[in-house]
Every structure is written in structure tokens, then in C-alpha cells.
Structure 1
Amino acid sequence: VVGGGKGMRIVQEESQFLHAAESAAREAEVAFGDPRLMLERYLLHPRHVEVQILADHHGKVLHLFERECSIQRRYQKIIEESPSPAIDTETRAALTDAAVRIMQAAGYTNAGTVEFLLEEAPEGARFYFLEVNTRLQVEHPVTEMVTGLDLVHWQLRIAMGEPLPFEQSELSLRGHAIEARLYAEDPAHNFAPSLGTITVWHAPHLPGVRIDSGVERGSVVTHHYDPLLAKVIAWDVNRQQAHQRLLHALQRMAILGIHTNQPFLIDVLNHPAFQAGKLHTGFLQEHAELLKPAMEAPPEALVAIAMLALSRQRRSVTSKPETLAPNVWEQLGRWRLGE
């Protein structure tokens, strides 16, 4: 079992090999209880593309097309989308066929993902098998929004022994979806974990936008759990419009009491290279300015949203207006403008 980029090292020169191997083995031993190593060819600027699979107990294995997960920091996915902006019909057919055959050969059942690295070349794209994730992944809502299928629903029905009632020819891509992961971390301090109590939590309700979260106002963020606060997913008829929906949703969110990577996500989405679909797993290293976002005071609109959200939350728990504090700023808890 591996995940989150743990136990992985890149070796550029022979002199680096022993140190990298020892370091990776130690990290893998601590994280997974297994220090064994596997060597693979390193691709300089690959895309990370994965294929969602559903397989029942009656021999039917179907693919639900691909997701692109190339925007990563420390090998951790941050932004995912479907379909990939780099894959044409021919490459998609080859990629999804390979994924289906891998799962058939393994005798796999239920939901799973086959991951690949995609290398673009003048003579055509080449892809390399990376791994199989035997679970439903964080980014599965992206696939749900472009296929119209509820993957959790089908997980349960497959587990109950039911056959999949549809064929591959009945599945199609519909529009474009992009997901951004909102983490409790501080971009201004090398993305260090941000712990504390959420004093304001406002997630907007917008058409074409889905927000999956496990927190609310008053939630306490500790070091005991993963720092993922929410997944913000936007859908529209094409990539450009889905991108604008996601950007608008992130700009309308208000979270106070802890730091989040919200401004960082907005910066990435605003970057011309992202908008052009020029993605690869080293995107953030290539555009290093994104890793050092300017920490400016929140815009007036964000402050207004936070105040409105707090006011509504207060009114929802009391019907006595006289019990409210006379000044909304007194209710915001410990936070500083501009941090």
C-alpha cells in the first residue's frame, strides 16, 4: 500500500542513488511497514492520467473514461479534471482499453482506478502503467459529474452481487468537470499544516458546483486527521466554462480561523498555462511563483461574505436578536486581516 507520494525519490545522477534509496526505504518502512523498493524510469514532464473502472462479479468490466491529475505538490494531487485536455479520441481508446484489460487480467471487482503516466511526443502520446488504486478515490466526483453515474451507489450494488445493467456503448462523456482540493495549510509558510477552530465557514450554493466537505463553523482542525477540508467541483459544457465556474466558487468561499490553500488554488486556476491546458506533474516547480503566493488582505467582497455568513449562522441558532453581539467583528474569533 502506498499513497501521498511517500517513499518516492527522483535520482538525476548516479552519485545520488544510495542516499535516495536509503531515504525512501526509511520513509516507506515508517509509513507502510515495508522498506522494499522498486525502480522505474523517470519521465521528465509527464501527465498523470487515470482511468475509472467499474467491474461486477459476472465478468463485466467497464471504463468511465479518464481523469487528469497532473497538478500536484509533493506528489499529492491538488486539482483534477475530466476529460484530460491532452487526450484525443485515439489515445483515449488505447488508454481505456489497456485499463480494462489490466483489470480483467487481475480478476478485479467493484470500483477501482488504473493510473498511468502520459508522455507527449511529436510522434504521438505514449503512456506507461503506474499503479492500480483498489478503492474509490478522492477525485471520483469529477467522473460522476461527466458521466451522470453515482459511483458509491454502484459500489454497493456490485458488492451485493448485482450485475452492471448497462454496456460500454451506453456510457459517454458529458461536458467537463474540474475539482480543487481545499486543504488546511498555510501557503505563506511552505504549506505548513494549519490547526485551530474554524470561526467562519461559508460555502456558496451555485449552479453547476458541488462542494463535498466534512467541516462547518466550529469544527476543530487537528493533526490527527488528513488536512483536506473540502472538494470543490465545477461542471459545464466545456473546459473553459467549467474553469470559470470553479474559479468563481473558490472566490466566493469564506473560511476564517485557520489558514487554507484557497488563494493558492485561485492563483493556479488563473495561470495562463493552466488555462491553456499545458499541464504536467512538474507544473508547480516550473511555475515556482505559484508556490509563493502574495499574501494580501482579503478583498472587501470576501470580508462581506464572511460577515454575512456569520450573521446568518448566528440567526439560525437563536430567535432572540437581542442576544447577538452588537458588532459582528467581535464574533469572528482570533484572526488577523491579511494573514
Structure 2
Amino acid sequence: MSHSSAPSSWPFDSVLVANRGEIAVRVLRTVKKLGLRGIVVYHAADRGALAVTMADQAIEITGSTPVAAYLDAAQILAAAKASGAGAIHPGYGFLSENTGFARAVEAAGLVFIGPRPEQIELMGDKVRARNFVEKGGFPVAPSAIEDDDPATFVERARLVGAPLLIKPSAGGGGKGMRIVRDLSLLEGEIERARSEGLRYFGDGRLYVERYIENPRHIEVQVLGDAYGNVVHVFERECSVQRRFQKIVEETPSPALDAPLRERICETAAGIARSAGYRNAGTVEFIFGQGGEFYFLEMNTRLQVEHPVTEEITGLDLVHEQLRVAAGETLRLQQHDIRSSGHSIEFRIYAEDPGRGYTPTTGPVLVLHPPQGEGVRWDSGVVQGGEVTSAFDPMIAKLIIRGRDRSDAIARADAALRDTVLLGCKTNTAFLRRLIAHPAFIAGDVHTGFLDANPQIAADPELGEDRLQALLAVAAMSTQPLREGADVIPELHAAIGDWTN
């Protein structure tokens, strides 16, 4: 394998980032560091965003909603051609796992910074991916797939046994998933899951698999090139979730010893290798209390939580993506990839955990990100901007690196304490309560941990004295009240400087 850090001559001199927010900023940083030109598209709602100001060129796109603009493949391709971009990086979300978009990028003569379209297609359909993995001899959970024989689907689902997890074939982000512990409710839950699948994905096909009680969610970062070389970049623990969506991710996983780590990581690399996988991807597993693990899905893109892997290995995964897309071989063999220390990522959401994790909105009046050794802040939000309901409520990622897990937790608590974002409620206080919980400190978590411990999400009750003091401080902080307090009555002003 080649060990040069960058191609001697890039086949493209500019990269358009077809995304927004913190991931657009993240990709642009590496693009510009490598001496390439960075271009972004943006909706008017993001006109003042950090990605727009730091890009070498920013092109406005329109849509019936802000999200619709970022999903408009034709408009993004037109922007790429107009700007002279040679490659497109899709980030995550939006069009990142859209087979049609990947094909359209290649058909336009541009480089798609991701896997080949047929790999996105294979792994994007959970049923096809599961069948492919099972045929390769890799571990999958007992299941029943509707496509195999729709007429007997309910009967076959019953035979898998409770508890069951129903999933849409085209699903993602936890949408449409339902847990069934009472098989007498199975048919009704199947219909509800089908309805949700149609609503969210336009695809009502389902499958069910044995639900592993209190499982952990462990995923493995993989990298592949166009020449058949595949490596893993260790695992990430992603078990702390709300509504099937991750909140905290860390590496190494506290659940794995060295032999088990090697098994699960090599399994992931084997799955990617069997698919001839190219570029960065993540193989996700359900991990049982007894150490058994089963393939869950493969995400054919960069993950939100990729920074923790970068922190313990020193790799720049976006740089690796660009090199592979440029036609280079992987510059690292498996034995070259080493890990050191412990890293934890916290998703900073504009939401109220005490009210069912309801998203919040408002102006970013004050923003002071935490600083210090081992502290990384990835965000696309700036002071003076605004958090709206147009997009996902994640506004930043706080990534901590420590000597070991205990050190990382201590640094994380200090960083979360020092994070100041005024204007809308965030989940930073909730995250401090979470990492102070004895089970989290012990590394004893699972995907149902927050549901089992609702007190973590609940705001602590304020005493009457403290509440009154806070209200007084808030009132005194408002401009009209301050101005009123500073006004000197006319009668007193007439006295001038005279004193008795």
C-alpha cells in the first residue's frame, strides 16, 4: 500500500459539500487544509451560518422548505457545475445514502466522495443487507422477512418468538420501529409499523427480528479502497440513546475485552470486505449481555460520531475519504492503526429533556464553547445566529479526549459545566446528570438505559428562595429594567452636584 499522506496530484481541485451545519464545517476544514477549494450550497435560512462564511464559494439553493432545498439533487448538481466543483461530499443525512444522487454525481462526471452506488443500494435496504451478511456466514439475529412470503409473514414472525422488534425495510433513525412483548398485539403493531414506514420512507415493507433485551449498540468504523483493501478503525459504543437516536458515543467500549474487541472489529471488516466496500462506512451491531453480537445495519457514509475515532487514532477520516475518492490505495494497513486514550462525544441538542426531549428554538444570544486540553467543539452555530425548527435539533458536538475513561468523564463534566449557550434551552445540564450516574460511570449502560432511569431527564426542583433569586437576576438583566433603574428623577437631577 502507498504510505503518502496525500495524492501528488488531486484529480479534483475543488469539493462541494452538499450539506449544512457542523458536518459542512467539519468537511470544509479538511478540504481547505489540503489546499483544495471548498464550496457549499445553502438555503436562505443558513445565510449567516459558519459554513457559508468559511467556504471559498457559497451558492444559494431554494426549496418549499429548507430541508427540501438540501434534498434537491438536480439543484445541487447544477450548483456543482456552475462552481466548477470536481467532487461532491454528501456529509451525513440528506442525500448521503441516496443511490440516485450518487449515480447522478458520477453521471455528471464528478467524483462522489463515498461508496459506489451499488454498495449504497445493497446496504441501504435493511433486508437485502441482512440477507447478504447472513449468506456470508456473519452473525444475524433470528428473524422473519416479509418479502420472503408476505402471506405467511405474521405466522413466521410469531415463530421467532417474543420479544420482537419490528423494523421498516427502508428505515433509519429509529422511525417505524416497534417492540412487541405480547404476541397477541403483533398484528396491530405490524400495521402501525407499516403505516409509519410508508409515511417516513414511502415503503411499507417490514421485517422482524428477535429483540435482545437491554442490548448495547456497538459499531465499527471501516475504510476500504478501490483495490480490495479494507481495514477497521476500532469500535464505538453508542448505547446511550433516546427514541432510538444516539446521544453519547465513546471509544473504546467499556463492554469489550481485547479478544472480543478483535472479534467484533474483524467481523465488521469481513462484512465490508465481502461487499468490496470502498470509502468510509460503519458496521453496526446489537451486543447482548452475554457477549453475543448480531449485525444490525451498515451506514454507507461518515457518521455523526466519527470524531471519537479520530481522537484516539490521530486519523483524519475526511482526509482518508478524499484520498480513496481520488483513487489512492489506503495508506495504512491494519497493524499501522493504533489507539490511545479514551474519547467521548456528546450531542448538544436544542431540546428540553424534562419535557420528553421536546425540541426548542430561539436566538443564539451568547455562545461560549468550552476550551482546554482534550476538548473539541464541532458546531455550525455562531453567536448572533438562530436555532429554528427547520432542521434537526443537534446544534453542536462536544468531543472529549482523556488518558482513560475516568479522566475523559472528569474532563467532560468540566467542559459541559463551562458550555454557555443562551437563547434556547439545551441538554447540557441533562448530560452532566447522565455522566454522574453510577451506572454510566461503571460503563454499565444499554439502549434502554434512559427509559429505565427517567429521573436523569427530569429537571431538579428549585427551592422557592433560589427560584426568586433567579427571577430577580433575570429581571435585572433585561434592558428596560436596567434603563429604568439608571434614570435619575428630574427633581434630583436639578440639584446638580450639590451635597449636604
With the shorter chain as reference, the TM-score category is: 0.7 to 0.9
Aligned-pair CA distance for 1:104: 1.0
SS at match of 2:210: coil
Q: Per-residue displacement from partner, 1:306-328 (whole Å, max 9, x unpaired)?
A: x9xxxxxxxxxxxxxxxxxxx86
Q: Give the TM-score of the pair, scaled to structure 1.
A: 0.86
Q: How does 1:5-20 map to 2 (within 5 A)?
A: 5-20=174-189
Q: 1:234, 1:4 → 2: CA distance?
A: 24
Q: 2:380, 2:265 → 1: CA distance?
A: 32
Q: Say if 2:459 is the partner of 1:293.
A: yes
Aligned-pair CA distance for 1:330: 3.0
Q: Say if 2:170 is the partner of 1:36.
A: no
Match of 1:265 among 431, 434, 444: 431
The structure richer in helix per residue is 2
Match of 2:397 among 231, 234, 238: 231
SS at match of 2:280: strand
The match for 2:240 is: 71
Letter in 2 for 1:62: V
Q: Say if 2:417 is the partner of 1:251.
A: yes
The match for 1:89 is: 258
Q: 1:31, 1:149 → 2: CA distance?
A: 35
Letter in 2 for 1:238: D
Q: Which runs of 4+ in 1 moved over 2 A?
A: 327-331
Q: Say if 2:273 is the partner of 1:127.
A: no
Q: 1:62, 1:137 → 2: CA distance?
A: 17
Match of 2:446 among 267, 273, 280: 280
Aligned-pair CA distance for 1:16: 1.8
Q: 2:479, 2:232 → 1: CA distance?
A: 53
Give the paired residue count.
302
Q: 1:330, 1:207 → 2: CA distance?
A: 37
Structure of higher CA gyration radius: 2
Q: 2:266, 2:376 → 1: CA distance?
A: 30
Match of 2:376 among 197, 210, 214: 210
Q: Say if 2:282 is the partner of 1:113.
A: yes
Q: 1:145, 1:295 → 2: CA distance?
A: 37
Q: 1:294, 1:190 → 2: CA distance?
A: 15
User: How has the CA–CA distance of structure 1 residues 295 and 148 changed in structure 2, closer, same or farther, with 3 Å as cutoff?
Assistant: farther
- Which sections of structure 1, spanning at least 5 residues, go unmatched? 308-326, 332-339
Q: How does 1:155-166 map to 2 (within 5 A)?
A: 155-166=321-332
User: How has the CA–CA distance of structure 1 residues 119 and 24 changed in structure 2, closer, same or farther, with 3 Å as cutoff?
Assistant: same
RMSD: 1.8
Aligned-pair CA distance for 1:189: 1.9
Aligned-pair CA distance for 1:3: 2.2
SS at match of 1:112: strand
Q: 2:283, 2:351 → 1: CA distance?
A: 29
Match of 2:358 among 189, 192, 207: 192
Q: 1:329, 1:238 → 2: CA distance?
A: 44
Aligned-pair CA distance for 1:19: 2.0
User: Is the CA contact (8 Å cut-off) linking 1:48 and 1:115 kept in structure 2?
Assistant: yes
Q: 1:195, 1:282 → 2: CA distance?
A: 27
Identity %: 49
Aligned-pair CA distance for 1:295: 5.6
Q: Say if 2:333 is the partner of 1:167.
A: yes
Q: Give the TM-score of the pair, scaled to structure 2.
A: 0.59
Q: 1:239, 1:296 → 2: CA distance?
A: 32
Aligned-pair CA distance for 1:186: 1.2
Q: 1:288, 1:225 → 2: CA distance?
A: 26
SS at match of 1:131: strand
Q: Say if 2:305 is the partner of 1:136.
A: no
Letter in 1 for 2:433: D
Q: Per-residue displacement from partner, 1:137-173 (whole Å, max 9, x unpaired)?
A: 1000010001110001110110011111221011111
Aligned-pair CA distance for 1:238: 0.3
